[in-house]
Amino acid sequence: MKIASMFRAALVAIATLAGLSTAARADGGTVVLTIYKAGWIIGGSGGSGVLNFHGRSYALSTGGLDYGLVFGGSKTVLRGRVSNINRPSDVAGVYGAAGAGLAVGRGARAIVLTNQKGAVLELTGTQVGLMANADLSGLAITMR
């Protein structure tokens, strides 16, 4: 009985260490995204960007939908860090957000998003245009 519980404890310890080493291997990089957005009640967005990861650049495409109070058009340039990725393709996925904002002319933006793979984007930048929104939105990022 005592041997079985010691064996079980050893297995739990090994599994825990294996899980920690996987999380410890997660890495990060930098991202620049340019997103164009327009809408009236239902809005859409599209754009492109670049992921820099381990000294290499990877082209990205973005697209998304907004639903709620959406009015106007804008161009947003976001720069920041992506974390919790093991390979460049981990950035690809769907990111969701709920928010509100107003941009008349030039304004500042900051956002933190997470996708289904656990990648975390921490982005800041500027938004130019006329855009009022209080909506649910989704942003899809794909590798080009």
50 part of a folded domain: yes
Q: Which uninterrupted H or E stretch holds 31?
A: strand 27-53
> What pLDDT score was predicted for residue 14?
58
DSSP string, 79-137: EEEEEEESSGGGG-EEEEEEEEEEEEEEEEEEEEEE-TT--EEEEEEEEEEEEEEEEEE
The answer to whether the beta carbons of residues 127 and 75 sit under 8 Å apart is: yes
Confidence of residue 37 (pLDDT cuts 50, 70, 90): confident
120 part of a folded domain: yes
Query: Count of domains in the chain?
Result: 1
Q: Which CATH number characterizes residue 71's domain? A: 2.40.128
Confidence of residue 101 (pLDDT cuts 50, 70, 90): low
Q: pTM above 0.75?
A: no
Q: Which domain holds residue 130?
A: 27-143
66 part of a folded domain: yes
5 part of a folded domain: no
The answer to whether the beta carbons of residues 28 and 86 sit under 8 Å apart is: no
126 part of a folded domain: yes
33 part of a folded domain: yes
14 part of a folded domain: no
